[in-house]
Structure 1
């Protein structure tokens, strides 16, 4: 043992102590984990259909990597929600709070990667923020990003992916669209000090959630007087992009990009996209197009996907001369599951499709079990010598579709009773016939 390492003594456990998952986290029992695996699998299929490749990065990042101002942004709420810890050598670390800045670090560290570089990543992230329906402190993000394409076709491909995925899930969505260049241009026209722009925009992002009065109050708390605060509010009230007037070249460039994106979306028949001038996105690294997707007719108000263009972060991490264009989206896996459940979607309670009930034939049943598994049939068997009724009750509780009864008589006849637990229909089948039946149903 290293002499510098501290020995941690076991702590006394209090009597009647309740052990539970930390607030904002959850234990996932099989039904919930099966649901999660299903959604993750469907997302992965869609990502790969669109040509994105998988990568994986650590859950832990160096604190400085996670907190540089060009990662989340100085005014971002995320900066106050980072879980931190130290390793044995006293180095400060952070649990990742999203998937984009680790990708920027990877690209900056691997300049030899061919461009465009299209990647997806899936895994848990952590934020020590407020808890509500659809929002947790540990949650999964499923990200896709395209690095190396500056034109708006890459942005529209991401929007097309969002539309494709939620159509597959049967979730009606609305995608709110905006552009950070337009937002920054409006701030420039209003002569908002540069050090207050990001802070002011993050407050504007709360307009739909907390209302005008609270937004004005928060803007004043951030150093803007009431007159300027009201002018800012007034600038974010229009719903029609054609009515937005800006003087700054940056703002005009943002409008041009928005119109190009909307035009391309129209040509792809993407009809669920609306312009929302108050959409900001809480992370300060966005540089152009931004968007968020919401489920229609749902009590869950959190976004189920969100992202945008981030052209500067890789340049900053790599200390490069030129920008490296990038655009992407993060899907909230846990929120998607919550929306599906709210819609009444039922998920399996078990992965098992067949349950063998031995009647004093445990050894022979194990051989049958092994043979079925070699045919990739998801199956299990009773090893506790329970009665048929108890086994049927067990299979029913788990929602296992079929049970196979294996008794001495069945072994002699080489035909076994296969019962469909949903219909109650029983068939006498040989093992070969059972295998064929399952392969057909699969």
Structure 2
């Protein structure tokens, strides 16, 4: 048997996973500071829920992992965290709105594997259910700014409005039955460029005159485009889209994040679920091409999915754990912290060492001890390789005198202190 991982999955060794856990803790701290509550949903689901008409759509169903359980029921692995959220709201009709939740968990897609796209990956989702106001979008964009500043990553938040984009498509004259297909092509502009999108639209039988007119609008500078359509809107969608964009920009300026927010009339976020604001977040230097976060408003999907006659306005954002981790690695921004702060090496003093390491842990200091009676040199070598910053060699003389030497592994120096002062000394050094 060859030991190998399934393509599109990977192991994260301790140093990698510590860094990923630290990112998750930082994200969680911000989510909760904004008043969002944690939610956890099952990874497995009835397939018919995942395959609902108003869930992910036909394209995503091609990538669902589907199987039968022992009762011959059709089961699937979740492919996102939005469908489980919709199900939770449907099963809990008395849930208080607005409902602000975050969920961090693995999702699975049996799709093509390439750089930045695995079959098993972690989503970090934040959603507000039950708020019609554009303040909801503004809050998520402000949160994104806070998170990337905290992570020391410089980003731009590109935003648009699907009503505005749909309005332009209608003004151009593109038939309604091609609108969603055109939007899917426009969503690829960052990947395949304008010529690539033009070629794809031609393959979709969009007439050349419509393509030219569409790019005439979309190649305008953002302010110029808005100005050309603002005072003489040719349809209601454009009017509503501009009104929502104006309101959002007012909140962006009020929050002081206008320097990193850019209006992008190209931006569409290909999924059909979006009904208003859409946004994507990219590193300023584009050292990583993939977005590091994205989201938007999807007012109709949950109500249609549950089919109970109630509309649930919703806005969400997802942060890509894997791409954030890779961005930090690329920029050599360390998220690592040694898992153990102090290592105790007993020399015939196992009982006392157990007592000391237990006290340290109970005082909030991560500690470990040599358990296998290796020689002191081997124990110090192990501590060095594990990047443990402090070591105490605890022998019978130390027990008798009540004094120990704490070795600073980075500096190669030793400090003699009383046993009773170990806690305060280490807390000061670790902080």
Choose the corresponding residue for 1:33, options 3, 11, 17: 17
Q: Deviations over 1:145-202 (max 9, x none)?
A: 1111101111111111001111111111000101111122122223434333222211
Q: Deviation at 1:241?
A: 4.0
**Per the alignment, do residues 238 and 69 of structure 1 end up closer, same or farther by CA in structure 2, a change over 3 Å counting?**
farther
Q: Deviations over 1:412-441 (max 9, x none)?
A: 112122111111221122332111223333
Matched, 1:266 2:231: no
CA–CA separation in structure 2 for the residues paired with 1:252 and 1:242: 16
Bigger mean CA offset, 204-213 vs 167-176:
204-213
Q: Secondary structure at 1:71's aligned position in 2?
A: coil
Partner of 1:3: none
Partner of 1:348: 336
Q: Deviations over 1:325-378 (max 9, x none)?
A: 111100111111111111112243741111111223233322222222222321
- Please tell me whether the aligned partners of residues 72 and 284 of structure 1 are also in contact (alpha carbons under 8 angstroms): no
Choose the corresponding residue for 1:166, options 144, 148, 157: 148
CA–CA separation in structure 1 for the residues paired with 2:35 and 2:350: 48
Matched, 1:413 2:401: yes
Q: Secondary structure at 1:389's aligned position in 2?
A: helix
- Please tell me whether the aligned partners of residues 53 and 305 of structure 2 are also in contact (alpha carbons under 8 angstroms): no
CA–CA separation in structure 2 for the residues paired with 1:157 and 1:306: 14
- Please tell me whether the aligned partners of residues 109 and 318 of structure 1 are also in contact (alpha carbons under 8 angstroms): no
Partner of 1:98: 80
Q: Deviations over 1:62-91 (max 9, x none)?
A: 2232233422344xx534333322222333
- Please tell me whether the aligned partners of residues 31 and 347 of structure 1 are also in contact (alpha carbons under 8 angstroms): no
Partner of 1:388: 376
Bigger mean CA offset, 26-35 vs 88-97:
88-97
Bigger mean CA offset, 226-235 vs 355-364:
226-235
**Per the alignment, do residues 199 and 86 of structure 1 end up closer, same or farther by CA in structure 2, a change over 3 Å counting?**
farther
Q: Deviations over 1:95-133 (max 9, x none)?
A: 222212221221122221111111111111122334344
Instruction: Within 5 Å, give how 1:125-274 maps onto structure 2.
Output: 125-244=107-226, 245=229, 247-270=234-257, 271-274=259-262
- What is the TM-score of this pair, normalised by structure 1? 0.91
- Please tell me whether the aligned partners of residues 216 and 229 of structure 1 are also in contact (alpha carbons under 8 angstroms): yes
**Per the alignment, do residues 243 and 298 of structure 1 end up closer, same or farther by CA in structure 2, a change over 3 Å counting?**
closer
Choose the corresponding residue for 1:312, options 288, 300, 312: 300
**Per the alignment, do residues 30 and 323 of structure 1 end up closer, same or farther by CA in structure 2, a change over 3 Å counting?**
same
Q: Secondary structure at 2:67's aligned position in 1?
A: strand
Q: Secondary structure at 1:418's aligned position in 2?
A: strand
- What is the TM-score of this pair, normalised by structure 2? 0.93
Choose the corresponding residue for 1:44, options 8, 28, 36: 28
Instruction: Within 5 Å, give how 1:35-74 maps onto structure 2.
Output: 35-74=19-58
- Please tell me whether the aligned partners of residues 71 and 284 of structure 1 are also in contact (alpha carbons under 8 angstroms): no
- Please tell me whether the aligned partners of residues 109 and 119 of structure 2 are also in contact (alpha carbons under 8 angstroms): yes
- Please tell me whether the aligned partners of residues 293 and 306 of structure 1 are also in contact (alpha carbons under 8 angstroms): yes
CA–CA separation in structure 2 for the residues paired with 1:159 and 1:87: 41
CA–CA separation in structure 1 for the residues paired with 2:180 and 2:48: 20
Q: Secondary structure at 1:94's aligned position in 2?
A: strand
Q: Deviation at 1:240?
A: 1.1
CA–CA separation in structure 1 for the residues paired with 2:302 and 2:206: 32
Q: Deviation at 1:249?
A: 0.5
Coordinate RMSD, CA, aligned: 1.9
Matched, 1:326 2:314: yes
- Please tell me whether the aligned partners of residues 356 and 380 of structure 1 are also in contact (alpha carbons under 8 angstroms): yes
Q: Secondary structure at 1:435's aligned position in 2?
A: helix
**Per the alignment, do residues 349 and 42 of structure 1 end up closer, same or farther by CA in structure 2, a change over 3 Å counting?**
closer
- Please tell me whether the aligned partners of residues 78 and 283 of structure 1 are also in contact (alpha carbons under 8 angstroms): no
**Per the alignment, do residues 153 and 341 of structure 1 end up closer, same or farther by CA in structure 2, a change over 3 Å counting?**
same
Q: Can you give the 5+ residue segments of structure 2 that lack an aligned partner in the other structure?
A: none
